[in-house]
Amino acid sequence: MTRPRLSVVVPFYNVGAYLGDCLDSIARQTFADFEAILVDDGSPDDSAVVAKEFCGRDPRFRIVEQPNAGLGPARNTGVEHATGEYVTFVDSDDLVTRHGFGLLVKALDQTGSDFAAGNARRFNNSYGVRPSWLHAQVFTADRLATHISETPQLVLDRMVWNKVYRRSFWDEYDYRFPAIRYEDYPVTLKAHLDAVTVDTIAAPVYFWRERESGDSITQQKFQLANIRDRVVSAGLVLDQVEDALPVIRQRVHAHFRQIDLHAILSAFGTVPAEEEQRLVELTTELLDRLDEAVLVNSPRLAQLQFDALRAGDLELLHAIALDPDAAQEALPRTKTDFALATSVRSVSWIDGELSIRGTAELRHLQAKPSSLRIGLMIAGRNHRLPVRRFLAEDLRGEQNLVGFEVRVSRKLLAKCPAAGPSHFNVRLRTGGIWRRDRLRGQKAGSPGWPPGAWIDDTSWIQPGPGKDGAFAVRRLSDPCRLTTVEQTPDALVLRGRSAYDEPSLYVSRPLSGGEEQVPLELHGRDFTAWLPIRPMLEEINPDDPFSQRTTRAFRMREPGGREQVLLWTAGDRLVSHAERGRVVMLTRSTGGYVNLHESPIRMTATAAVAAGNKLVVRGPDWGDVSFSWRRYLPDSDDHVDVECRRTVSDDGWAAVVDMESLEPAEWILFATAPDGTPHAVQCEPFLSSKLPLTATRGERTLAVRPLAGTLHLEVS
């Protein structure tokens, strides 16, 4: 038998509900030269049945059985049975992107590095797909043949499953996972220290499931056995960096203070009385291992917890863990506590002017009188804007004079340079204290999907985040743009205008790479392009393994090589075509550019309105489903559903619910197919650009907003 290039180790235990999807995502890889070793770690459910059925269908998969020993030993068993040139690990409730293995192996073939690692996404049924915060700090760019000594943020790369290792490297250092939870970090950090070079890929290669029930290992953080293993794992890692470069050692100690020690201290809010002393011992064990220089630079509330721990003050530890906000408020104030906090809560165009509504406050001084100045910085000059202030919810959840609205005229926007973003400066004075900063803190809804507009015949203004995350506006001068879309039975017909003579149009898949040229009919700089629908529907090999969606983007290129992303200026509604259980949608991206999505049919909301005591959500009718607003019970897969009345018209479906039937909680709109399969309703980008929708009914406030692409309702 020919030796496979890659061995994929998949331990499983009690994951019958997820294992099939995990294995299917592996089987769909564009990189096909692999073997998958499925390690049955004594699973008591039907996981082995699912695994054996899959092995029967695909000879690349085989199963190995062992008595239950835990995830680390099961991974070790898998490596012992692996024969590939490379080895990788997949947790049995997660998913891998179809191009992930290929990207990592390609990098290793190119560089000869010891291992390659890629970005990750988090996902679940309620919130859809969103970035993994930890991985977003690390995988900001492709870096080939780097090392932790020159890329110190790699100390945060603590998971094993987003990597492909060279098997000779793995065997040279004889890596073994310890028989504890949090077994990844001692192995992955040592590998980073041992490696000559490593490769990092910014594209997501792995999708990390977050269960609603909270029963994954990383979500069981308040269980004493989990905390014990966490401290043991941290001790192993701290031993490894004892003689490492100072920058690596300091970052590891700071990371454990910020993440692990903080999580363990939070457990004092729920620990049973009989386990308190053991929790004190474990927390002290980790605290005593961390550098004092890291501890003294911690926030003051954390330092109070450290002092309480050393003094054995369980009452104070319990109080802080239960209500850290109240404990923070009780601390004596220093000037550093009065930081400027801003948010952008809605973005719209009113009477031709750009309207931005948000909040600005000095922390802990919300209720005191203040003066606020906001200006738009253009080419080094600050243009002061009229500010309207109003009552809004502050950081403490109270109504105070922290809300603001500014409007920017077309005349001023026309002065923005086309070379880069123009930011908003905020200056707030409360008493004798004043602070200034750029406007930040975009909330869900229109701040994340801000609508753009023409301010003259050739200038388009697109609000949105700048490079540093601060809110900004960009002026695009005569951009390549889509102006209209027509749908025929067989194709989408795109019409627009190019900024170039003799342009070419290319469509690419940002996640998996590659591009194809789209034929154009040109009349000067005006163009028409035809996108056949059926080939896209028939190519079922999605880039997103959870939503089964593939996204395509468009670029116009001149003969000399200059290019622009194609801007959407074709109205405020998506264009879609549904057929045989799949749908193609042409819409806009967060930055206002043209995106084409192809996926299985998932009901998509395009409008939401509060009418009387009813909340009505609408969308295109792509099939027979029922709708309900769902809230999950704490730390559980169990949920409560409030059914909606469904109506259908020529405009599509409408889901209607009596707002009084929704108790205070966070709700997600779900659609359920006739076979009982539910999915969260997607929030279409043009609806996102009009949200949040807020309504007050009696003593209740309702806010409809998008979160990670799905439609949520907060009732308070």
Nearest Cα residue to 548 out of 494, 511, 593, 586: 511
Query: Domain 6-217's class?
Result: alpha beta
Q: Is pLDDT above 90 for 535?
A: no
Residue carrying structure tokens 């409560």: 640
Paired sense of beta strands 481-487 and 567-568, if any? parallel
What pLDDT, on a 0 to 100 scale, did the predictor assign at position 276?
Answer: 93
Instruction: Mark 442-464 as b/e (b = at least 16 C-beta within 10 Å).
Output: bbbbbbbbbbbbebeeebbbbbb
Q: Predicted confidence band at 214 (pLDDT cuts at 50, 70, 90)? A: very low
Averaged over 213-242, what is the pLDDT?
A: 79
| Mean pLDDT value across residues 577-595 | 92
Q: How many Cβ atoms sit within 10 Å of the Cβ of residue 14?
A: 18
Q: Which of 124-128, 279-283, 396-400, 574-578 has the lowest mean pLDDT?
A: 124-128
Q: What is the pTM of this model?
A: 0.86
Q: Which CATH class is domain 336-477?
A: mainly beta
Q: Say yes or no: do domains 336-477 and 604-715 share a fold.
A: yes
What is the 8-class DSSP label of residue 681? P
pLDDT at 293 over 90: yes
The owner of tokens 């995502």 is 25
Distance of CA 252 to the CA centre of its chain: 24
Quick one: what percent of the chain has pLDDT higher than 90?
80
Quick one: CATH architecture of 481-600? Sandwich (2.60)
What residues does each domain of the chain span?
A: 6-217, 221-332, 336-477, 481-600, 604-715
What CATH code is assigned to 604-715? 2.60.40
More confident residue, 220 or 177: 177
Do residues 192 and 152 make contact, with C-beta atoms less than 8 angstroms apart? no
pLDDT, position 212: 57
Query: At residue 62, what are phi and psi to the nearest 5 degrees?
Result: -140, 160
CA pair distance 298, 308, nearest whole angstrom: 15
What size, in residues, is the chain?
Answer: 716
Each residue of 13-27: pLDDT tens digit?
A: 999 999 999 999 999
396-413 mean pLDDT = 95
